[in-house]
Amino acid sequence: MKPKKARTAREKLSLRQTIRREILAWFWVALIFLLVNGAVGQARVIPSGSMQDTLLIGDHLIMSRIGYDAGIPFTNLHVPLWRNPKRQQIVIFRPVIRGETSDVIKRVIGLPGETVDIRSGSIWINGARLAEKYTVGRTEPADPSQYRAGFENRANVFPYKVPENCYFVMGDNRENSLDSRYVGCIPRENIIGTPVLIYMSIDAPSGWDSGEIKERALAYLSALVHPSEIRWRRLFHIF
């Protein structure tokens, strides 16, 4: 029989090797997740009603960044890629309003170099009326008293020509959306992706409009206790 001390030493060595392998394996899993999360896709939650009825408060989205943007983990560095948004495509972009940190989701209406006009309750692109079946409320220019200060390229006069490398975006809920009518076009470098799938949708309270953590936690808990608060028909909707 082998000495007890020798067996104990080998067992300790084997245990340390097993732990190191586990740590290394989890390290690679975490690294791959961060790279995928930074360059391929991310999750987003809809906090406001500006995109109703296309997107509702409490919708949970998977956002694709493929071709649009690549982010470096643990930093605020982003690199715009080769894809550019198309008209009427829903996009997610970094905020242009100073002090705000949450990403924004809107629909692309005007492309770089195009002339956007708002009249007769409709959008006109280069003189042609844009057909829109997804809007809620009447489409009108923004109230000048509500313009955000500091945005010289805001669309406060129509017709409005969209600058190069910029996109005119609007919310589908036209009477309740802080969009390009107020803050001007969105630079291409701010656009980071497009939604591809609704993976969860909770009948959320209005408190989510302000992004309150407490209200969100209570909504998740309530959905667990009351499954009827989950909008089952919206799950796995693909854009």
pLDDT of the residue at 82: 84
pLDDT of the residue at 32: 47
- Tokens representing 67? 């071709």
Distance CA 40, CA 33 (A): 10
CA-based nearest residue to 88, from 69, 106, 113? 106
pLDDT of the residue at 162: 95
Distance CA 119, CA 117 (A): 6
- Residue among 48, 106, 177, 201 flagged as catalytic: 106
pLDDT of the residue at 114: 97
pLDDT of the residue at 109: 97
pLDDT of the residue at 59: 92
CATH class name, domain 40-238: mainly beta
Q: pLDDT (tens digit, 0 to 9) for every residue of the chain, 239 residues total?
A: 455 556 576 666 666 777 777 676 665 555 444 454 555 557 788 888 899 999 998 899 988 888 787 766 556 666 777 889 999 999 999 988 877 878 899 999 999 999 999 999 999 999 999 999 999 999 998 876 665 555 555 556 789 999 999 999 999 999 999 899 988 899 999 998 899 899 889 887 655 554 566 766 777 787 788 888 889 999 999 88
166 in Cβ contact with 187 (< 8 Å): yes
pTM here is 0.77
CB neighbours (10 Å) of residue 238?
8
CB neighbours (10 Å) of residue 211?
13
Q: Is 106 annotated in the active site?
A: yes
Break the chain into its structural domains and give their ranges.
Answer: 1-39, 40-238
What does each C-alpha distance from 155 to 33, 144, 158 come to in angstroms?
Answer: 40, 10, 7
CA-based nearest residue to 166, from 84, 108, 111? 111
Distance CA 170, CA 104 (A): 11
Tell me the three-class secondary structure of 132-152, residue by residue.
Answer: CCCCECCCCCCCHHHCCCCCC
pLDDT of the residue at 188: 94
Tokens 């242009």 sit at which residue?
Answer: 96
pLDDT of the residue at 40: 54
- Residue among 48, 50, 64, 180 flagged as catalytic: 50
